Copies of this chain bind each other. A is one copy, B any other.
Amino acid sequence: MASLALQTAEFSAPTQRKASIDREDIIAAALSLLGPHRSVSSLSLREVARAAGIAPNSFYRHFRDMDELAVALIERAGLSLREIIREARLRATTSPSIIRSSIEAFMELLEGDKKYLQILLAEGTVGSDAYKAAVEQVLTYFEQELQEDLIRLSTEANAPLHRPDLVSKAITRMVFAMGGNALYKPADERREIGAQMMVMVRFLMEGSETLYKLEGPG
């Protein structure tokens, strides 16, 4: 867990506080190294230490492993993404607009914090078990949150869904897959991909509604 992440440095006299390197700084250094050709799992401990301006061995004071760093990065990325989507959800309350604004928020994030997204999108299937499990957990969280939204909104709209769990899973996996693909593409292509996502999500929603009429909730 992010044990020391929130500790406020002010007012703390009891223990010694050094203005030295922080977990945060190491995470930032690792982020700075990411790019279209550099994945988290391709970073070396020494490389990160170098970017953070510390000796290789100092790394061990903050993380046991590169793997532990990777998991921390994933959790951070998940948190960041979660906040963005939550904002989008709060702004929109009707079924079509919540989808639109969520995807727009997602694509905006893709413009800006590419690094965070890359961690979740592009590397969920390589790396250690802990690594994969952390990504999976983030995705599952999104699925559950989306499912709640879907059920609430479809009930309000009187357009119930067949297997809303699978609708949310399909949307999540598809958006992440398409997003990972769009990550480092030129802006106009990204916009095109965003538009495609919208249609695909509509397919899923309409399909689920239709199947509800044919077969019930499932």
Which residues in A have some Cβ–Cβ distance to B below 8 Å? 37, 39, 41-42, 121-129, 136, 162-163, 166-167, 169-170, 173-174, 176-178, 180-181, 183, 196, 199-200, 202-211, 218
Partner of A126, one of B123, B136, B174, B200: B123
B199 and A206 form a contact (CB under 8 A): no
- 6 tightest A-B CB contacts, nearest first: A207-B207, A203-B207, A122-B125, A206-B207, A177-B177, A170-B200
A182 nearest CB across to chain B (Å): 10
A166 and B207 form a contact (CB under 8 A): no
* Chain B, residue nearest A196 (CB): B166
A125 and B180 form a contact (CB under 8 A): yes
A137 nearest CB across to chain B (Å): 13
Q: Which residues of B contact A128 (CB under 8 A)?
A: 37
Distance of A59 Cα from B8 Cα, bound (Å) = 53
Distance of A211 Cα from B209 Cα, bound (Å) = 12
B200 and A204 form a contact (CB under 8 A): yes
